[in-house]
Structure 1
Amino acid sequence: MAVDLVEDAGFDVVDVASAAEAVLVLESRPDIRVVFTDVDMPGGLDGMRFAATIRDRWPPIELIIVSGKRRPQADEMPARGVFFAKPYKKHEITAAMRRMVG
């Protein structure tokens, strides 16, 4: 599971159930530097629209987008967003996160 992967790499995790909940967290947590999202999310906002919302409202936040069903087209990806197809390699995700946080 993604939460375990991120925690095992030494990062703090805020786990949410939907994009709407994530937006509420982002509004109250200016310390968040990376968001990890799936293209297919529960609720009314899919992962690509969620990523676009983050890019518009919180430009400094880095984005990792994953999917086991479809690969987004280049023009769908937000600036600086990084995509990984499932099943992804854990070391690739953690390496990307380390680069993102410097």
Structure 2
Amino acid sequence: MAQSFNPNRYAVLVVEDDALVRAEAVDLCEEAGFTTYEAKNADQAIRMLERHSDIRVLFTDVEMPGTMDGLKLAHAVRDRWPPVTIMVTSGRVQVGKDDMPENGLFFAKPYPPRGIIKALNDIAAQIQS
């Protein structure tokens, strides 16, 4: 019998400085079946990645306070943790393909919840194979 995919073995790290938007994103990721961690800036996100080896998806906003914005964080994560899939979102910043790390996904805010869940399910299927 084929083993079914268990997304609970993998985690999503949501990085968003707005507490309400962060809570909604965490709910979406959990609805997709993933363990979810959260951070309010890039510095917290790096610490979470260092602590939790099960993080396989970074879902980050572009604009946030601190030493790095979401795009700098996305590139840092791509360099240091290559297996992590990068998902970037923004409501104000226009993000082009050249701004994103390789294989990164961009979602404009307000992003469609079903689109995020579908992307997470697609990522989960790729991790499994």
Structure number having the greater strand percentage: 2
Matching residue of 2:108: 85
Matching residue of 2:118: 95
Percent of residue pairs identical: 45
Structure 1 runs (4+) greater than 3 angstroms displaced: none
Q: Is the 8 A contact 2:32 2:121 kept in 1?
A: no
Q: Normalising by the residue count of structure 2, what TM-score does the alignment of the two structures yield?
A: 0.75
Q: Is the 8 A contact 1:33 1:101 kept in 2?
A: no
Q: Normalising by the residue count of structure 1, what TM-score does the alignment of the two structures yield?
A: 0.94
| Cα distance, 1:35 vs structure 2 | 0.8
Decide which structure has the larger Cα Rg and report it: 2
| Cα distance, 1:38 vs structure 2 | 0.3
Alignment of 1:12-31 (within 5 A): 12-31=35-54
Correspondent of 1:67 among 90, 107, 119: 90
What residue ranges of structure 1 are gaps of 5+ in the alignment? none
Superposed CA RMSD: 1.0
Give the length in aligned residue pairs: 102
